[in-house]
């Protein structure tokens, strides 16, 4: 192999990552490979392994991708996958994120020995997201649904194919929401997508440790929920202090996992509202008063302290002529709604905070998961 990373038969190191052992003695395979059997099946999951150490992993919509080596450098667009990679102990290879403020790296500060320098991550969104930044980062793997690049960021299929062929493969499925009409393929849950990424990084043990601990925590929380749970309206302020909001439905998708885990009702869906991500528009206080939800959950990005939330959101609603008439405001049931993008670590924090705020008589001030236990899984000392 020459100094520029190109082998003398014209195959680059990127080809080796994407196509695996199939480049040896045969034609280069397409991104979606056929169903020819491999030398062996990895008993630890859905990844198929060959005797030479190469392996393939399948995920819709990208199909089956082959790897000769475990990717060292990588980046997602959304922080759900960033959080998964960190949970799998691959934080050192994380290069970039779509928007830094939407990645809750501050939460890692509670985990001993776990940290990500959010400010040090390249921001992919810079008024737009062009191909040039993918070339500059030169990552081994892009944990991004290619259809997201086309339908949400304005790329052409030719753009996707160019980066896939010359830089590194795309491997991902848009999981944070289910409202996009172009997403007509597999809907993976958080842990289904997490398992796929674990197969790519060959981190089955960490995945299984997280999955088991998640199940244990969730079983304990759910065993303590009341028989009747509230109807919640999840809202994102159109401005701060807010006069109108973007509605977010408590439907499928990882953005709603903590609400679904707590078995809340969806006040917006029950009144026929559409999700903002499906061009659902905005709702003002008059519209909210017609719904009059049990709980209002305000979603905000970044590190949101209780003092900020009280000063900028709750106090404004209490002093507002119309908002002050809402039952949720009068009953002190305006709560923090969390971040949009959550993987297995951030989800535990958001589940804990939501449980405390929805059910203070049961969970107030209680730590619902062991920070040391989670940190030990991430750092490999579990």
How confident is the model over 166-184, as pLDDT tens digits? Answer: 999 999 999 999 999 999 9
pLDDT of 3 over the 80 cut: no
Calculate the alpha carbon distances from 59 to 171, 185, 253 in Å. 7, 10, 17
Q: What is the dihedral of CA 381, 66, 43, 204, to 10 degrees?
A: 20
pLDDT at 17: 42
pLDDT at site 43: 36
* CA–CA separation, 306 and 230 (whole Å): 22
pLDDT for residue 32 is more than 50: no
Bridge-partner residues for 150, per DSSP? Answer: none
- The distance between the two most distant Cα atoms of the chain, rounded to a whole number of Å, is 75
User: 275-328: per-residue pLDDT in tens?
Assistant: 998 877 999 999 999 999 999 999 999 999 999 999 999 999 999 999 999 999
Instruction: Report how far Cα 302 is from the mean position of its chain's Cα atoms.
Output: 15
Stretch 23-51: mean pLDDT? 37
Average pLDDT, the chain: 88
| pLDDT > 70: percent of the chain | 86
Show me where the domains of the chain are located. Answer: 13-67, 219-379
What CA–CA distance (Å, rounded) separates 100 from 151?
A: 21
pLDDT band at 1 (very low <50, low <70, confident <90, very high): very low
- The third-level CATH classification (topology) of the domain covering 219-379 is Rossmann fold (3.40.50)
pLDDT at 251: 87
pLDDT score at 190: 98
Segment 9-25 mean pLDDT = 34
Question: Residue 42: its pLDDT value, please?
Answer: 38
């Amino acid at each position: 192999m020459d100094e520029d990373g190109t082998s003398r038969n014209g195959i680059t190191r990127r080809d080796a990552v994407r196509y695996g052992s199939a480049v040896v003695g045969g034609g280069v395979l397409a991104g979606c490979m056929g169903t020819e059997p491999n030398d062996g099946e990895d008993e630890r999951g859905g990844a198929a392994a060959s005797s030479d150490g190469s392996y393939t992993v399948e995920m819709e919509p990208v199909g089956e991708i082959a790897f000769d080596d475990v990717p060292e450098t990588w980046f997602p667009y959304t922080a759900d996958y960033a959080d998964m990679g960190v949970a799998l102990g691959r934080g050192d290879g994380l290069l970039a994120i779509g928007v830094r403020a939407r990645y809750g790296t501050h939460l890692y500060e509670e985990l001993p020995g776990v940290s990500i320098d959010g400010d040090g991550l390249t921001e992919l969104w810079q008024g737009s997201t062009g191909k040039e930044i993918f070339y500059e980062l030169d990552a081994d793997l892009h944990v991004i649904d290619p259809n997201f690049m086309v339908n949400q960021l304005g790329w052409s299929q030719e753009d996707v194919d160019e980066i896939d062929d010359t830089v590194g493969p795309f491997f991902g499925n848009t999981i944070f929401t289910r409202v996009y009409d172009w997403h007509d393929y597999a809907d993976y849950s958080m842990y289904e997508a997490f398992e796929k990424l674990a197969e790519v990084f060959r981190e089955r043990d960490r995945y299984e440790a997280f999955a088991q601990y998640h199940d244990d925590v969730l079983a304990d929380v759910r065993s303590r929920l009341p028989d009747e749970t509230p109807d919640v309206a999840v809202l994102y302020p159109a401005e701060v202090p807010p006069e109108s909001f973007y509605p977010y439905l408590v439907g499928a998708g990882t953005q709603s996992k903590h609400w679904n885990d707590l078995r809340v009702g969806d006040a917006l869906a029950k009144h026929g509202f559409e999700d903002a991500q499906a061009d659902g528009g905005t709702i003002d206080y008059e519209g909210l008063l017609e719904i009059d939800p049990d709980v209002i959950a305000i979603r905000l990005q970044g590190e949101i302290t209780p003092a900020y939330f009280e000063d900028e959101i709750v106090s404004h609603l209490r002093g507002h002529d119309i908002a002050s008439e809402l039952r949720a405001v009068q009953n002190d049931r305006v709560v923090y709604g969390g971040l949009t993008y959550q993987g297995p670590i951030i989800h535990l924090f958001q589940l804990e905070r939501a449980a405390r705020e929805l059910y203070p008589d049961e969970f107030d001030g209680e730590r619902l998961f062991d920070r040391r236990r989670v940190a030990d899984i991430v750092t490999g000392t579990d």
